[in-house]
A = this chain, B = another copy of it.
Amino acid sequence: MRTNAVKAHWAQGKPAINGWLSIGNGFAAEIMAAQGYDSLTVDLQHGVVDYGSAVQMFQAMGASGVMPMARIEQLSPSNVTRALDAGAMGVICPMINSRADAEALVSYSRYAPNGIRSFGPTRAMFSAGPGYCGNAEDELICMAMIETAEAMDNLDAICATPGLDGIYVGPSDLTLALTGRRYRVGFDREEPEMIEAIQTILTAAHRHGIKAGLHTGSAHYACRAVGWGFDFVTAGTDVRLLAEAAGQTVRSVRKAHGA
């Protein structure tokens, strides 16, 4: 079975740089796969992506060395199964609020007797190669999103879940959950209480020997996150990268000529 390059990075003590895919298109994924990311996560929860486009995206990034991952719609056996069967080398599951949620997530991603994932890696057998069944547990990544007040309350219990590879922080929801609507919505939090919350999660993860990931909205904040010790930082979403680069281009031409 294919080796998971993100896990290999981690084994060397290096953080992985992840890109985020919300445009449901194979060629857009192929472009992103050529930019040097360690992994690319297809966002099935909030992205304009469905299963069919996710498969095309995984296929299109197959020739590069980038690890294909998926943020699934919500916690459910078939969401986990279908993402992994389609060739994802890891899943990020939103809204993990309790130890029970985390245990369910792990169990959905492992074959019996260690879990209840149903066997049938139809595309993964082609994309990840022989030996899939025996090696899936070692090579696939399973991350739980911490983004609610309830999850904060259960942080240690979640982080201690056997088989969980890491947690992933969703700063937008976490901010809404912890501070209501006092602050602007979005990533790259600057409020001390939010930075503290984010670091609390990071510390908890490391305390339990698992990895910590953070969703960021800029290279600058991704660098800070790496500095804090995050093992997996999302730096760049296709939507935002394209929008900002195009917007800036138009504005600079207009400005020069009042066009």
Q: CB within 8 Å of B: which residues of A?
A: 14-17, 19, 22-28, 30-32, 34-38, 43, 45-48, 50-53, 55-56, 59-60, 62-63, 73-74, 76-79, 81-82, 85-86, 94-95, 111-113, 116, 118-123, 126-127, 133-134, 147-149, 170, 172-173, 176-177, 180-181, 185, 218-219, 222-223, 226-227, 233, 235-236, 238-239, 241-254, 256-259
Subset of 26 A-B contacts with CB under 8 Å: A15-B257, A17-B250, A19-B250, A23-B31, A26-B55, A26-B59, A27-B123, A30-B127, A32-B242, A32-B246, A43-B120, A45-B81, A46-B121, A59-B60, A77-B95, A113-B181, A118-B147, A118-B170, A133-B181, A134-B181, A223-B257, A226-B256, A227-B256, A235-B250, A241-B246, A244-B245
Q: Which of B17, B172, B250, B253 contacts A254 (CB 8 A)?
A: B17
Residue of B nearest to A215 (CB): B120
Which residues of B have CB within 8 Å of A31? Answer: 23, 126, 239, 242-243, 246
- The answer to whether B112 and A176 have CB atoms under 8 Å apart is yes
Which residues of B have CB within 8 Å of A46? Answer: 81-82, 85, 118, 120-122
Q: Tell me the bound Cα distance from A241 to B185 in angstroms.
A: 26
- The answer to whether A246 and B176 have CB atoms under 8 Å apart is no
Which residues of B have CB within 8 Å of A238? Answer: 242, 246
Q: Which of B47, B113, B176, B243 contacts A111 (CB 8 A)?
A: B176
Interface centre among A28, A43, A218, A246 (most CB of B within 10 A): A246
Q: Which of B36, B79, B119 contacts A172 (CB 8 A)?
A: B119
- The answer to whether A78 and B45 have CB atoms under 8 Å apart is yes
- The answer to whether B223 and A249 have CB atoms under 8 Å apart is no
- The answer to whether B259 and A17 have CB atoms under 8 Å apart is yes
Which residues of B have CB within 8 Å of A55? Answer: 26-27, 48
Residue of B nearest to A244 (CB): B245
Which residues of B have CB within 8 Å of A120? Answer: 43, 45-46, 172
Closest chain B CB from A245 CB (angstroms) = 4
- The answer to whether A22 and B122 have CB atoms under 8 Å apart is yes
- The answer to whether A26 and B118 have CB atoms under 8 Å apart is no
Which residues of B have CB within 8 Å of A50? Answer: 50-52
Q: Tell me the bound Cα distance from A223 to B55 in angstroms.
A: 35
Q: Tell me the bound Cα distance from A17 to B31 in angstroms.
A: 24
- The answer to whether B247 and A35 have CB atoms under 8 Å apart is yes
